[in-house]
């Protein structure tokens, strides 16, 4: 009868440790892969949200700049009251200003409608500026433009237009603060 060779405990322990090492490595790689996939999805979602916000922000900033140019045109480019075309030019600038404000309102409205990717805030309220009493900054601008339409002299026209830039800056300030706040939410740098 042939006797079986005694078990070499050193070999058994070595093979067992190798098997455990392979099993641990497989489990580790599986867990690491799942974590990496989750991080990759989170990054893609954050990038997509950031891209959506960038599109909305670009529309808002472009419309705000167009509105600023219309404000400057009506404040600076109006001719002298003695010009026979004053009323026509004023109506043209006033209509342009209203169209630019409507486009600005639409850009803010688009941001509000895009609430899946942009913070749900009252974006459209920003088009009016801050309220003091019952009047918003935009209401004050419209009141000033009505005063320009009824003014009879150049000093009255200049006096009516004098505060328009400041009221517009109030609107701009509110929009800039909202954009800065939204940018921070989409900022990829870690928050400490």
The structural domains of the chain, ordered by start, are 21-186 (1.20.120)
Please, which pLDDT band fits residue 52 given cuts at 50, 70 and 90? Answer: confident
pTM for the complete prediction?
A: 0.75
Please, which pLDDT band fits residue 4 given cuts at 50, 70 and 90? Answer: low
Q: What span, in angstroms and rounded, lies between the C-alpha atoms of 7 and 41? A: 51
Ranges 11-25, 39-53, 135-149: which has the least confidence: 39-53
Please, which pLDDT band fits residue 154 given cuts at 50, 70 and 90? Answer: confident
Please, which pLDDT band fits residue 157 given cuts at 50, 70 and 90? Answer: confident
Q: Report the pLDDT averaged over residues 52-58.
A: 87
Structure tokens at 171: 């609107």
Please, which pLDDT band fits residue 166 given cuts at 50, 70 and 90? Answer: very high
Q: Report the pLDDT averaged over residues 117-143.
A: 87
Ranges 3-7, 28-32, 67-71, 121-125: which has the least confidence: 3-7
């Amino acid at each position: 009868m042939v006797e079986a060779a005694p078990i070499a405990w050193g070999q058994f322990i070595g093979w067992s440790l190798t098997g455990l090492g392979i099993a641990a490595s497989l489990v580790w790689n599986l867990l690491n892969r799942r974590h990496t996939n989750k991080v990759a999805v989170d990054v893609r979602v954050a990038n997509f949200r950031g891209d959506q916000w960038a599109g909305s922000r670009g529309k808002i900033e472009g419309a705000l700049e167009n509105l600023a140019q219309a404000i400057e045109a009506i404040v600076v480019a109006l001719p002298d009251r003695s010009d026979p075309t004053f009323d026509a030019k004023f109506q043209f600038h006033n209509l342009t200003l209203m169209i630019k404000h409507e486009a600005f309102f639409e850009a803010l409205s688009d941001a509000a409608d895009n609430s899946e990717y942009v913070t749900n805030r009252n974006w459209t309220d920003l088009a009016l500026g801050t309220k003091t009493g019952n009047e918003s900054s935009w209401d004050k601008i419209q009141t000033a433009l009505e005063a320009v339409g009824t003014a009879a002299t150049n000093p009255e026209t200049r006096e009516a237009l004098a505060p328009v830039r400041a009221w517009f800056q109030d609107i701009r300030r509110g929009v800039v603060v909202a954009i800065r706040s939204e940018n921070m939410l989409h900022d990829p740098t870690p928050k400490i």
